[in-house]
Every structure is written in structure tokens, then in C-alpha cells.
Amino acid sequence: MNQPKEIFVKTSRCMGCHACTIACAVEHSQSKTLFGALAEQPRPVSRIYVEWACPDIKVPIVCRQCEDAPCMHACISGAISRDANGVVMTNADRCIGCWTCVMVCPYGVIGRRLEQRKAYRCDRCPDRDIPACVDACPTGALVFQTVPEYSATARRHASRELAQAEGN
Amino acid sequence: MRLGNWLKRRATDVNAPQHSQYVIIGAGAAGMAAAHAIRRIDKGGGITVLSQESDTPYFRPMIPYLVSNQKRPNQMAMAGHGPFDQPNIDILTNTKVVAVDSANRQIALAGGGRMGYEKVLFATGSRPYVPPEINGIDTPGVFAPRTLADARAMAARAARTRQAVMLGGGLLNLKTAFALLKRGIAVTLVVHSPEVLSQLMDPADAALIRKALIDAGLVIQTGVAATDIQADPAGVVGVALSDGSHLSCQMISIGKGVRPCVDFLQRSGIQIADGIVTDRHTACNMPNAFAAGDVAVSFDPVSGRPMSTALWTHAIEMGRCAGLNMVGVKTAYSGTFGILNATQVADLPFVSMGTVHTAGQDYEIHRKSSANTYHKLVFDAEGTRLIGAVLVGDITHAGLYRSLIRDQMDITGRKRHIIDRSLHYGHFIGNAKFT
């Protein structure tokens, strides 16, 4: 089955190190190196965000590529469309910086370059097999799998825990 | 587009009525969203979209970019962009509908043609309101921009315009004003209200935006109205204002709101109250007829009250919903806020949504401002639900706030984060606590 891979987030594993955000910014820089990226103008920015919630939960937040993507439908310039791999893309040439997408995205994952009036967002790293954020995550909090793969893993874990709880 | 087929069919027998399973009147946001929503499900049924305009469907909010010469019409075309990616949708341009016979499921076209339908969608949108009390409103050089054709004419006139006067301080007129500024034209904004953007915020909330507009070069006159437009043979040369003053200009742009286009529904039996009355499933009072977008009256999800808007997002959402209902997938429309706008003026982004006019009302209001930002968060009188937000300068996570308003979520526990603007999606993850 030709299932696209998705980025899954396991908040229980995230320790808030921000390796994902740095890797994302570097991947979206011109030089694609850390030191090169630091020197670039405009400064490369991450498309993944790590938030913190009480009591001590770190939450990596990245575009969910919504099935019914509100941003794509709301866009007033036709800049947002879904590519063949199911990735929702913002075409910077068509974007006019009206921020309607920002107003309708419930996850808050659409970034803004106010001077250029261009929105930017996760593009799933089209040049890479594994997105930079997933590749950089040292704890396995970010997982790049198909939905069936991921749910099979989740089921295996759950049944193992169940078996252990029953003392088998 | 299969215009050729249609013309051929017409040519064989002019009097024989045409027929299309789905007929959509209006090729704006609502009509096109519906057409594509139908086609995603029904791969075979004929879909015909009728447009009075001579241009094929385009992104209407983009028309100021034609005035400023930043975009060409083909860069605003809908076909193949964003969600408008479905095939086999017949678009008939220059086609005006003059009457609807819902008993016989037929529409009458200007010029005598008729077209039968199984389902019809009224998505005729709205037209600019032009104040009749202003003398000389028909003078060449006076525009109330709505269509690509209007924008073309405006762009042509702009080439010989040194000064322009904008009547009305709404969003479209502001965008048009910036387009004219870009072309080096001196622009004066004349607003009858005490402040710009009075539809989108209280005067006290617009201070930062007003400053940004002035810094960008716009001259603003509030509390005055136009009374007389003066002309010479080449068109407008000036406008007299209610305070007795006079402004020289070679162009006037009117942005005084819109009115729904419902004239073609007289004697159709379709119920009209300011716009076309729809039920929760976007259906009209007559069978097999639906309405969406500016022309439809829907409802405010917070108050439940009837609501007409001229919002792009509303037109798209309601159009998609109507399309699903037309194809037989019964779908309730979630309603719309009267206000749901985002844009950027100069370097200042802003979002206004939900209940934002609070003067004299019993709401709980929190304001927070800095040199470059202004936030106003409006809660209901009990303080348990967010009902509106004005975010200026920093619109981070605006969509999350919109969800809170739309879903009327009990925000107890999250309120501090809302007020100090630190709320993020992580606060909604299962085991997050709110302190």
C-alpha cells in the first residue's frame, strides 16, 4: 500500500533540547551548515516549534498536514496546495502575506516573514529521505512512519505492557 | 472549460433548454468552492458554473494587486491553484441569470436561454454599496472596485492620476489605497466614522494601525463624508466634503460595504431577508436550491443570530458545505463570525475576529500593548469563554484563538495564557496542567 509517511510526536520522549528546531533551520538555510546558517540574512528559521506546558511537558509542534487543511482552503491567493505526497505546501511566489492561513491554523505552525510578506511552513524536507527534525531528534520523540506502521508499533507496545502487567 | 460543447448544443436548437445536474450561479469563492467540493465526490455529474463576468474565476481579494501592477490577471486565476484542482467543471462567462423557476427546476438566462438543473446553488455574491446621496457618483474615475474588470479600469485610470480619494475606511479600500500609493499616487482616506476600520475594531483599538497608515504616507480624514463629486470632460477632478472642504483628485474609490445580489430571485419563491435565507444545511426554502457566500444569510455560531458577511473564509467554507449537501452528503454549516479578518498594513500584521466591538457592553476585556503590538481579548460577562480578539503587530497562534471562540470552549484554567498571549497548542495536550 502506498501510504505516505507522517511525522508523529511522542511528547513523553521529548526532553526539550531543541535539536529539531536547529536542524530544521539549518536544513532551510542556503548553506545547510550550522555555522553558515548563523551568518545568513535573513536568518534561517525553524518550521517546528517546541513548547512547554505545566507540570513539565515539552511539546514539539509541527504542521499536521491536515486532511482537510483549513489553511489551503482559506488562502486568498491560491498559494497553498497539496503535493503528490500529501504534503501541504506554501508557494512563496504566490503568497502575498495576508496571514489568512495564520488566522485559521489551529496549531500555530505557520511562520511569517513580515518584511517579505511571505508565510513559511514545514515542507517535510523534500530533498531528504527523513525530515531533518526527525533525523536530529536524539530521543525518538519524533517518528517518521506511515500511519499503519506507527499504529502497529503502538499496538505492540500496548500488548507488551499488558502482558507484563498480567505477569506473563 | 467546455464552452465549445455548450455553444454547439445552443447552435442546434436555441429554444431547447440546456441541462446540467449541478448549476452554480456565481463563480466567486462560494460558487467555485462548491463546484470543486461536488467534483471531489461526484466524478461524473455535470457541473455548470455561470458567471456574469467576462473573466474566468480568479481570487477576488487579489484585485488590488492588479491596480498596483504587482500581479497580472493570470497570476490570480483560480483554476489549478490551491484547492481548486478538480477537472471537468464547465464555466460559462458573460452569462447572466435573470430568473429562477424552482417548481420546474429551471433558470432563465439574459438573452432568452434556459437551463434545467437537479440542484442549484445561488452564489451570486454581493455588489458594492454606492451611497445615493453623493452627487456625481457616475462620473468617470469614480470606482467601487469589486471585479477584475473594475481593477483593470482602475489601473488604467491610475496611469493619469496624481491624487486619489478613498471614501470609506474598510479593509478593501485600505488595500486599494496601498495599491495606489505603490504607484506613486497621493491618497487621502475619507472616513465618516471616527476611526479607520470601524467595522473591525473599536476606535481605541485602531491607534497603532492608524499610525502605520499615516507612516506609510496615507492622509486620513475622519468624521467627514463626501457630498459632491466635481468633474470635467475627462472625469473626476475633485470632491466636496461635508465639512465644507474640498479635495482635488482624479480618482475616487468607494468602499462602503456591499449588498447581496438577489434581484434575479424576485417571484422565485425563494425566501429573502437581506440575503437568501438558508437552514443549517445551506438549503433554501424551496427544494433542490442552496445558497452560500455573501448572498446567503447564515448564523453566528456564538450568538446563533442570523448573520450575513462578505468574508472570503466564510464564502469558501459555506460553499464547500453547500457542495457537499448538493451531492447528497448531508453536512451542517458551522456558521460564521461577522468578523474574521487578517491582513497586514505597512509592516503591521493584524487579525480581528469574533465580538470585538465592546463599547458599552458587559464583557470582560483584557488589553495588552507595547510600542509595536496591541492585543485585546474579549471574554463573555462570566469570563469563562473567549468571544473575540483583536491582535495587532503580533498575530502568533491567531488560529488557536479562533478555535477557542468558534468552539465556545470553556477556557477556565487556560485564561492566564490567553490574556498574556502565551497560549499554544501544547496546552491542549492530554496531561498538560494549567496553573
| CATH number of the domain encompassing residue A90 | 3.30.70.20
**Cα–Cα distance for residue pair B222/B194, rounded to 1 Å:** 5
List the single range of A77-81, B205-209, B283-287, B411-415 with lowest mean pLDDT: B411-415
> How confident is the model at residue B336, as a pLDDT?
86
Asked whether the beta carbons of A24 and A132 are under 8 A apart, the reply is yes
How far, in Å, CA of A115 to CA of B40, rounded?
Answer: 37
Cell numbers 449541478 correspond to what residue? B22
- Burial string for B267-305 (b: 16+ CB within 10 Å, else e) reads ebebebeebbbbeeebbbebeebbbbbbbbbbbbbbeee
CA–CA separation, B378 vs B388, rounded Å? 5
Question: Is the Cβ–Cβ distance between B415 and B385 less than 8 Å?
Answer: no
Q: CA–CA separation, A97 vs A75, rounded Å? A: 10
Q: Which helix (H) or strand (E) holds A146?
A: strand A142-146
pLDDT per residue over A111-123, tens digit each? 999 999 999 999 9
Q: Does A10 touch chain B (CB under 8 A)?
A: no
If you average pLDDT over every residue of chain B, what do you get? 93
CB-CB neighbors (< 8 A) of B398 in chain A: 99, 102-103, 108
Three-state DSSP class for residue A150 = helix
Distance CA B97, CA B319 (A): 19
Interchain CB distance below 8 Å, A59 and B429: yes
User: Any idea how long chain B is?
Assistant: 435
- Residue B152: half-sphere exposure toward Cβ, Cα within 13 Å: 10
Are A29 and A110 found together in one domain? no
Hey, is the C-beta of B349 within 8 angstroms of any chain A C-beta? yes
Mean pLDDT of B224-252: 96
Per residue in A105-156, pLDDT tens?
999 999 999 999 999 999 999 999 999 999 999 999 999 999 999 999 889 9
B74 in Cβ contact with B165 (< 8 Å): no
> What CA–CA distances, in Å, run from B236 to A66, B130, B161, B245?
50, 16, 10, 16
Chain A residues near residue B76 by CB distance under 8 angstroms: 77-78
Angle subtended by helix axes B29-41 and B312-326, to nearest 10:
30
The single-letter DSSP state of residue B291 is E
| Residue percentage of chain A with pLDDT more than 90 | 85
The whole-number pLDDT of residue A73 equals 97
3-state secondary structure of B107: strand
Q: Using 50, 70 and 90 to split pLDDT, how confident is the model at B11?
A: very low
Chain B positions touching A75 (Cβ under 8 A) are 82
- Could you give the CA distance from residue B260 to residue B266 in angstroms, rounded to a whole number? 13
- Closest listed residue to residue A47, CA positions, set A105, A96, A108, A91: A108
Instruction: Quote ipTM for the complex.
Output: 0.93
Q: Does pLDDT of A159 surpass 50?
A: yes
pLDDT at residue B9 tops 70:
no
How many domains does chain A contain in total? 2
B380-418 pLDDT, tens per residue?
999 999 999 999 999 999 999 999 999 999 998 899 999
Q: What pairing do the DSSP bridges indicate for beta strands B186-191 and B219-222?
A: parallel
Q: Is the pLDDT of residue B153 over 60?
A: yes
Q: Taking CB atoms and an 8 Å cutoff, what residues of chain B touch A94?
A: 75, 81
pLDDT value of position A157:
87
B398 touches chain A (CB under 8 A): yes
- pLDDT at residue B15 is higher than 70: no
Considering chain B, tell me which residue range(s) the CATH 3.50.50.60 domain(s) occupy. 3-127+259-326, 142-256
Side-chain-facing half-sphere of A111: CA atoms under 13 Å = 21
| B296 φ, ψ (degrees, to nearest 5) | -95, 150
* Most confident residue range from B14-18, B57-61, B334-338: B57-61
For residue B1, the model assigns a pLDDT of: 43
The answer on A28 and A9 residing in a single domain is yes
pLDDT tens digits for range B333-390: 988 888 999 999 888 999 999 999 998 899 999 999 999 999 999 999 999 999 999 9
Q: Are residues A72 and A83 in the same domain?
A: yes
Sheet holding B306-307, edge to edge: B272-273, B275-277, B296-299, B306-307
Over residues B300-329, mean pLDDT: 93
Q: How far apart are CA A102 and CA B399, in angstroms?
A: 6
**B3-7, B103-107, B156-160, B195-199: segment of lowest average pLDDT:** B3-7
B78/A53 CB distance under 8 A: no
pLDDT at residue B431 greater than cutoff 80: no
Which ranges of B273-367 would DSSP assign to H, the alpha helix? 312-326
Binned at pLDDT 50, 70 and 90, residue B209 comes out as very high
Where exactly does CATH 3.30.390.30 map onto chain B? 347-428
A147 lies in the same domain as A134: yes
Residue of chain B whose alpha carbon sits nearest to that of A50 = B426
**pLDDT at residue B198 above 70?**
yes
If we measure between CA atoms, which residue out of B358, B346, B339, B347 comes closest to residue B401? B339
CA angle B72-B342-B210, nearest 5°? 100
State the pLDDT at residue B12.
43
Question: Grid coordinates standing for B54?
Answer: 467576462
Domain span holding position A146: 1-62+129-168
Length of chain A: 168
The pTM of the full predicted model, rounded to 2 decimals, is: 0.92
Q: Which residues of B244-266 are buried (b: 16+ CB within 10 A; e: fewer)?
A: eeebebbbbbbbbebbbbbebbe
Alpha-carbon Rg for chain A, nearest whole angstrom, is: 18
Q: Do A53 and A2 belong together in one domain? A: yes
**CATH entry, B142-256, from 3.50.50.60, 3.10.20.30, 3.90.25.10, 2.40.10.220:** 3.50.50.60
User: Domain B3-127+259-326 maps to which CATH number in 3.50.50.60, 3.40.630.10, 3.60.20.10, 3.30.530.80?
Assistant: 3.50.50.60
Q: Please tell me the least confidently modeled range out of A34-38, B7-11, B94-98, B232-236.
A: B7-11
- CA gap B231, B209 in Å, rounded: 33
The answer to whether the CB atoms of B65 and A78 lie below 8 A apart is: no
The answer to whether residues A13 and A95 belong to one domain is: no
Residues A117 and A135 in one domain: no
Sign of the alpha-carbon torsion through B323, B315, B398, B339: negative
Task: Give the closest residue to B311 by CA, choosing from B159, B170, B141.
Answer: B170
Residue B58 near residue B75 (C-beta atoms within 8 A): no
| Residues of A in Cβ contact (< 8 Å) with B400 | 106-108
B171, B190 contact by CB (below 8 A): no
Q: CB under 8 Å to B134, separation ≥6 — which residues? A: B167, B225, B226, B227, B228, B229
Instruction: Specify the DSSP class assigned to residue B127.
Output: E
Domain B347-428, what architecture? 2-Layer Sandwich (3.30)
Encoded amino acid at B385, one letter:
R
pLDDT range class, residue B304, cuts 50, 70, 90? confident
> Are the beta carbons of B424 and A99 separated by less than 8 Å?
no
pLDDT number for residue A166: 79
The residue ranking higher by pLDDT, B230 or B170, is B230
Phi, psi of B384 (to 5 degrees): -105, -10
CA–CA distance, A136 with B209 (Å, rounded to integer): 41
Provide DSSP, B129-175. Answer: ---TTSBTTTSTTEE---SHHHHHHHHHHHTT-SEEEEE--SHHHHH
Whether residues A135 and A56 share a domain: the answer is: yes
Q: Enumerate the β-bridge partners of residue B134.
A: none
Determine the distance in angstroms separating the CA of B40 from the nearest CA of chain A, rounded to an integer. Answer: 13
